[in-house]
């Protein structure tokens, strides 16, 4: 019922503060608004929940899998003559560096080529619900639906082993493969002059205006008329997309264990691409180590003959000296000096060799080069101190000490070189790297999204919020007058009575329109109606008001012209 308010014309105006206070809506009024528009709130909420359930039900499931890679430390016994630089073939790269190697185009490109990830082939499912129906189907479907030819909703399957197209066709509209039955199919595309016919298991070759087209389908399962989409993406675009999707992180720091994670809608393809990435990464690591080992071997093959000649020359010189001077006995001091001299001279030669290797990679200002320079200077200072002690010895002992030192130093260096060369050959022939796969990727059983319960709950909350907001907005902007106090606040007039609009009045108006005989007045047919009681209250209020007025005239008016 819509009430009508009757205001007194000569009442004093209310203060603005009171009007502003009446404009404020308290909690009880909000509750009244929601109760009045409860069906609007319920409808909006139900619509949101229905949309959420439809999305959760029909959206394509996304699966996640991962593999673990361990970056192993360099073996401590693999260092020989080359000292710390012997790790040229066993360099320990930080996990952050290995992560960038895994993400590189070199590794991902090889994995993309191995799995043919740039080829996308799938049945042409019915829009919206096709994939949902296919996941629940038990066999092949009958192609077509409501006049849409070729669409399928069953267990159709296609596997493409090779698909090479001209560059103009890459990343473009997909090709349509239509099953003909008995292992035959047609291939069509908007840019082809005519459809091509091929056979499963045999290459389909066509020379178009843009270049050669090669297609080899290994498997095609579908009833005659079933259609499949086949597209070829650019290799670079596929690699870049894989780089964005790939998630790499070190499992705890510093653990040197790297997790490689990927999401995909196809469980088998997901496991295949991850395992291909792991295989290519380990393979390239082994190849890189073998190449480094071969490079160092080539260097040692040049150095070994030279050190062998030096050893032989020092041995000959020492032998001649002993033959000429018979036996020369070294005192205790000379023996100590000899041992220290051999040790320092060996360190000096190793450090100098290390310096030459670093100079091939870094500048003189590099911290590693400057550190080895400081080590060389320190060893040379110690050797200088020993030289002063040797100079104080007899000449014969000096010569004997020098020659024996040369024999020992050259012998140690030559033996160390031989050991290093042997280790390098083992690394090269053994095909061993410093990374290994801890866990391979497996096909996940359950999707990670959509999370149906969360989606429905979120849709319920959002729908409820939207429904409440819409109800309040409609009440604020389209609600009209909510109570008599609003009239008093905005006009400054007192409201003497509120006359409700009753259903009986509607019936009376309908009878009057139909020209039904009789008196069509609410006071006659329903004298106890709330509207009549409100009019009686108005009559009494007007009688008391006219006692103070100068006349007994009452003006009845409305908000608009011709108001009834």
The DSSP element (H or E) to which 257 belongs, if any, is strand 257-264
Q: What is the pLDDT of residue 546?
A: 79
Question: Across residues 137-155, what is the average pLDDT?
Answer: 87
pLDDT band at 18 (very low <50, low <70, confident <90, very high): very low
More confidently predicted of 30 and 142: 142
More confidently predicted of 558 and 375: 375
215: which strand partners?
A: 163, 204
Q: What is the pLDDT of residue 17?
A: 47
Mean pLDDT of the chain: 82
The label of the residue with tokens 């041995």 reads 315
Structure tokens at 531: 């509207």
pTM, to two decimals: 0.68
Question: Across residues 168-190, what is the average pLDDT?
Answer: 92
Phi then psi dihedrals of residue 178, to 5 deg: -115, 125
More confidently predicted of 395 and 84: 395
507/91 Cα distance (integer angstroms): 97
Convert the pLDDT of each residue in 466-503 to its tens digit: 999 998 888 877 766 767 777 777 777 788 888 888 88
Q: What is the pLDDT of residue 327?
A: 58
179/177 Cα distance (integer angstroms): 7
CB burial readout 528-560, b (16+ within 10 A) else e: ebbbbebeeebeebbeebeeeeeeeeeeeeeee
Q: Is the pLDDT of residue 89 over 70?
A: no
pLDDT band at 165 (very low <50, low <70, confident <90, very high): very high
Nearest Cα neighbor of 220 from 194, 274, 182, 270 is 182
Task: Give the DSSP letter of residue 175.
Answer: E
CB atoms within 10 A of CB 16: 9
pLDDT band at 22 (very low <50, low <70, confident <90, very high): very low
Per DSSP, which regions of 339-456 are E strands? 435-439
Nearest Cα neighbor of 178 from 206, 145, 141, 150 is 150
153/142 Cα distance (integer angstroms): 8
89/505 Cα distance (integer angstroms): 101
Least confident residue range of 22-31, 127-136, 288-297, 433-442: 22-31
SS3 percent helix, strand, coil of the chain, rounded to 5, is: 55, 15, 30
CB burial readout 75-109, b (16+ within 10 A) else e: eeebbbbbbebbbbbbeeeebeebbebbbeeebbb
287/170 Cα distance (integer angstroms): 32
Domain boundaries, the chain: 11-59+450-493, 63-282, 300-436, 500-564
Q: What is the pLDDT of residue 188?
A: 92
């Amino acid at each position: 019922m819509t009430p009508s308010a009757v205001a007194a014309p000569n009442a004093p105006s209310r203060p603005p503060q009171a009007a502003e206070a009446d404009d404020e809506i308290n909690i009880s009024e909000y509750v009244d608004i929601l109760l009045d528009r409860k069906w609007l709130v319920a409808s909006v909420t139900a619509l949101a929940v229905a949309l959420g359930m439809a999305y959760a039900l029909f959206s394509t499931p996304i699966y996640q899998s991962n593999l673990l890679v361990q970056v192993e430390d360099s073996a401590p016994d693999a260092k020989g003559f080359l000292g710390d630089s012997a790790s040229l073939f066993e360099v320990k790269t930080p996990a952050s560096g290995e992560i960038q190697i895994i993400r590189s185009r070199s590794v991902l490109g090889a994995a993309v080529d191995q799995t043919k990830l740039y080829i996308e082939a799938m049945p042409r499912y019915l829009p919206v619900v096709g994939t949902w129906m296919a996941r629940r189907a038990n066999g092949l479907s009958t192609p077509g639906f409501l006049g849409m030819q070729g669409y399928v909703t069953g267990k159709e399957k296609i596997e493409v082993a090779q698909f090479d197209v001209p560059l103009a066709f890459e990343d473009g509209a997909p090709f349509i493969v239509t099953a003909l039955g008995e292992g035959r199919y047609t291939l069509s595309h908007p840019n082809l002059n005519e459809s091509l016919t091929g056979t499963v298991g045999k290459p389909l070759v066509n020379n178009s205006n843009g270049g050669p087209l090669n297609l080899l389908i290994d498997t095609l399962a579908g009833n005659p008329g079933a259609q499949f989409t086949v597209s070829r993406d650019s290799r670079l675009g596929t690699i870049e997309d894989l780089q964005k999707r790939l998630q790499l992180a070190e499992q705890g720091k510093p653990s040197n264990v790297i997790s490689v994670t990927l999401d995909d809608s196809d469980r088998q393809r997901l496991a295949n691409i991850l395992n291909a990435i792991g295989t290519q990464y380990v393979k390239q690591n082994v190849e890189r180590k073998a190449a480094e080992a071969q490079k160092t071997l080539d260097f040692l093959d040049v150095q070994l003959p030279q050190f062998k000649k030096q050893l032989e020359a020092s041995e000959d010189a020492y032998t001649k000296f002993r033959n000429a001077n018979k036996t020369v006995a070294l005192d205790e001091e000379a023996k100590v000096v000899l041992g220290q001299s051999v040790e320092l001279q060996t360190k000096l030669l190793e450090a100098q060799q290390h310096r030459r290797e670093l100079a091939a990679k870094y500048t003189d200002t590099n911290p590693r080069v400057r550190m080895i320079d400081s080590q060389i200077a320190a060893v040379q200072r110690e050797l200088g101190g020993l030289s002063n002690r040797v100079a104080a010895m007899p000449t014969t002992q000096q010569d004997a000490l020098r020659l024996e030192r040369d024999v020992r130093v050259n012998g140690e260096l030559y033996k160390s070189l031989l050991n290093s060369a042997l280790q390098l050959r083992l690394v090269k022939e053994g095909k061993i790297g410093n990374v290994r796969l801890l866990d391979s990727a497996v096909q996940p059983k359950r999707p990670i999204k959509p999370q149906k319960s969360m989606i429905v709950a979120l849709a319920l909350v959002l729908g409820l919020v939207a429904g409440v907001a819409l109800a309040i907005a409609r009440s604020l902007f389209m609600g009209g007058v909510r109570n008599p106090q609003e009239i008093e606040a905005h006009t400054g007039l007192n409201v003497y009575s509120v006359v409700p609009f009753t259903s009986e009045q509607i019936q009376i108006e309908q009878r009057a329109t139909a020209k039904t005989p009789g008196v069509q007045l609410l006071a006659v047919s329903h004298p106890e109606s709330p509207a009549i009681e409100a009019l009686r209250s108005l009559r009494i209020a007007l009688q008391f008001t006219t006692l103070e007025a100068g006349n007994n005239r009452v003006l009845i008016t409305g908000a608009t012209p011709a108001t009834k």
